[in-house]
Amino acid sequence: MISPSTRTAPSPAADPVLACPISPVVDLVFSRWTTPILWTLHAHGRQRFVELQRRIGSVTPKVLTQRLRQLERDGLVVRTYFPEVPPRVEYEISELGSSLAPLFASLADWSQGHMPEVDRARSRYDAAN
């Protein structure tokens, strides 16, 4: 048994969060469908499921449902249920989700400014290999 006095801090290799402290945010925000969902809700406001699915495009209903539930759990999306006949459900980006807007804007700027360079680098690499 290791006594508390002989414990050392985990090394970055043992703890991925210490190696890259933004990795939990990257996992949370930049999974396959999360970014398009948040971007769409931010750009177009409150939407019903079908509207959101239509705007995003190729996401399946099952995957969209799963991602929306996770985003609601994480506090990035608010789901509002209206007990009408037929029932109506709407989704909107939360205040916490909206706080990501500057990050997305910075990434959009970076993309516009640097993706041509990335494309050229890929072409050079592919030609050499």
Find residue 91's DSSP bridge partners: 47, 79
Element (H, E) at 80: strand 77-82
Percent of the chain with pLDDT over 90: 67
Strands 88-93 and 47-48, sheet pairing: antiparallel
* Cα–chain center distance at 128: 34
Q: What is the pLDDT of residue 32?
A: 85
One digit per residue, the tens of pLDDT, for the chain of length 129 reads 444 555 555 555 567 667 788 888 888 888 889 999 999 999 999 999 999 999 999 999 999 999 999 999 999 999 999 999 999 999 999 999 999 999 889 988 999 999 999 999 999 999 999
